[in-house]
Amino acid sequence: MALAEYGKLFIGGQWVAPLDGEIVETIDPSTGKPWARVAFGGIKDMDRAVAAAREAFEGPWRRMPGYERAVLLRRFADLYEQRAAEMAVLESRDTGRPIRETRPDLGAHHRWYHWFASLADKLDGRTIPMEPAVHAYTERRPVGVVGAITPWNAPMLTTAWKVGPALAAGCTVVLKPAEHTPVTAYELAAIAEAAGLPPGVLNVVPGYGHTVGAHLVAHPGVDKIGFTGEGRTAQDILRAGAATLKRFSFELGGKSPHIIFEDADIEQALNAATSSAWVVCGQSCALGSRVLVQRSIYDRVVEEFRRRAARVRVGMPLDETTHMGPQAHGEQLAKTLSYVAIGQAEGAELVTGGKRIETGEFGAGFFVQPTVFAGVDNRMRIAREEIFGPVAALIPFEDEDEAVAIANDTRYGLTAGLWSRDSARAHRVAARIDAGMVWVNTYRYIRWSTPYGGMKASGWGRENGVEALDSYLDTRTTIVSTSGQFPDIYAQ
């Protein structure tokens, strides 16, 4: 089959061939074979994109009234909705996520853009009461040109979380998607073009992180980096961005505790805990990868995980019946398998799974079985390090205090979940967990209007919610003396 062609970058409202980039092939992780040819930008391309974003920022975009930016963003959202089904197929091919995940996922992204559009004309400041002869007020101004750097696990969702608030705030954007999954970003550029966003407001330059990504970060023409990805990359970004003292927001990894108390509705808790262990093939920062289970129900929960793992239909991403596709690329598959070996060497009990699936049509793809470890101690590496594969680590606990202690004994603090029918306990425990998002009797409920982001090593700043705008806006305070009088301190 002919490869899909995405041979141009989108810079300054034009589709342009790379100046010093290259054309590369992107791999379908279910076959291990190329499925599209895509343009990657080089350093000169990134320079062009930053210049275009700067011109658009200084020109039409920051001066446009918020209600007019909102009209354009709504048009963008409507076009996104119309293209969502098609984009879901592309995202499934690029990431390997099954179509039954990507269809509802991409089918909801327009709501993010609508939500941010609705905020574009509400960026009001405050008046601050002072002495009678002083009028003090604040205004919120866009920070400028934003470099948006996204990961490969959920490319379009993590993009919406940056592009939506940035454009609503009046910033312009250079988007650099992950090298493994660039395809939907070109489609996003086409939507921006069709929606009539002024040239340069959104630029799309895929490419390698360590070259064009790093260049974007260090670029003096960029005012802010919005990043989702690995903590180690965030540290590199901080170092590279230090010289220009730009602003940063980081959405980094997680090792989220998902706590099941003995008084929970166990069926519902199991539905959530098994889904949040294996959905996105385990490649989501929010997954409940540490399942903390009260000792009295531990054996039952382990047995249910084993039973339910056997029901997971691993298959081709575009097959409507597939529950779980391949890992998104070969390095991630190798990483997941290495952690299975680490867990076994550490003495955890491999209850089920843990093997690459290589039979028949799975042969060349990056498939792995849904995996469950029992008897996990929170000191083990499989409980401490982010695996990013479909590997659940089941950790027993005795009581509330121990559950909280284990939950918080991690460098991460992104999300957490807990299941209990006792509402007092639910609130009590939720309040003690160090995580940016805590779900009670549900899991992975994420919406445009609910702030999302990490404590501790899981990140800086919040995406979604009205809080998302904060990291794309600067506050300017103006103080006016209505008397116009200023004392001469040297008069006597």
- Per CB under 6 A, residues contacting ligand NAD are 149-154, 158, 176, 178-179, 209-210, 213-214, 217, 228-230, 233, 236-237, 251-254, 285, 386, 388, 414, 454, 459
Q: Let me know if 314 is exposed, middle or buried by CB neighbors in 10 A (0-12, 13-18, 19+).
A: buried
Catalytic residue among 171, 224, 255, 285: 285
Q: Which is nearer to ligand NAD, 217 or 324 (CB)?
A: 217
**Residue 171 designated active-site:** no
Question: What is the C-alpha to C-alpha distance for residues 123 and 139, in angstroms, rounded to an integer?
Answer: 8
CB contact set of 151 (below 8 Å; sequence gap of 6+): 158, 178, 228, 229, 230
Q: Which residue's CB is nearer to ligand NAD, number 222 or number 264?
A: 222
**Beta carbon of residue 117, minimum distance to ligand NAD (angstroms, whole number):** 22
Whether 25 is a known active-site residue: answer: no
Distance of closest approach, residue 228 Cβ to ligand NAD, in angstroms = 5
Identity of the residue, 350 or 455, whose beta carbon is nearer to ligand NAD in the bound complex? 455
The whole-angstrom separation of Cα 32 and Cα 403 is 41
Q: Which is nearer to ligand NAD, 226 or 354 (CB)?
A: 226
The enclosing H or E element of 401 equals: helix 400-408
- Least distance from ligand NAD to the Cβ atom of residue 207, Å: 8
Residue whose CB is less far from ligand NAD, 72 or 225: 225
CB 367 within 8 A of CB 314: yes
How far apart CA 289 and CA 449 sit, in angstroms, is 25
- From the list 81, 101, 162, 246, the catalytic residue is 162
| Known catalytic residue at 33 | no
- Integer Cα distance of 330 and 341 in angstroms: 17
Residue 135 DSSP code:
E
Which is closer to ligand NAD, CB of 384 or CB of 425? 384
Query: Least distance to ligand NAD from the beta carbon of 251, Å?
Result: 3
Give the residue among 57, 13, 50 at the shortest CA–CA distance from 216.
Answer: 50
CB of 440 to ligand NAD, least distance (A): 20
CA distance 412 to 407: 10
* Integer Cα distance of 96 and 327 in angstroms: 7
| Dihedral sign for Cα atoms in the order 87, 93, 453, 46 | negative
> CB-wise, 76 or 452, nearer to ligand NAD?
452
Give me the amino acid identity at 492: Q
Q: Cα-flanking dihedrals φ and ψ of residue 481, to 5°?
A: -85, 120
Give the count of beta carbons closer than 10 Å to the beta carbon of residue 296: 12
User: What are the DSSP calls for 127-163, one per residue?
Assistant: EE---TTEEEEEEEEE--EEEEE--SSSHHHHHHHHH
Number of residue whose CB is nearest ligand NAD: 209
Q: Report, in Å, the least distance between residue 331 CB and ligand NAD.
A: 9
Nearest to 216 by CA among 174, 179, 180, 178: 174
- Annotation says 463 is catalytic: yes
The active-site residue out of 91, 179, 400, 463 is: 463
Q: Are 286 and 446 in contact (CB under 8 A)?
A: yes
Nearer to ligand NAD, 18 or 170 (CB): 18
Rounded to a whole number of angstroms, the minimum distance from the CB of residue 296 to ligand NAD is 32
Q: How far apart are CA 202 and CA 309, in angstroms?
A: 42
Looking up tokens 């060497």 gives: 345
Closest contact distance (angstroms) between CB of 380 and ligand NAD is: 19
From 179, 187, 251, 386, active-site residue: 251
- For tokens 């695996």, the residue is 387
Question: So which residues are the catalytic ones?
Answer: 162, 251, 285, 463
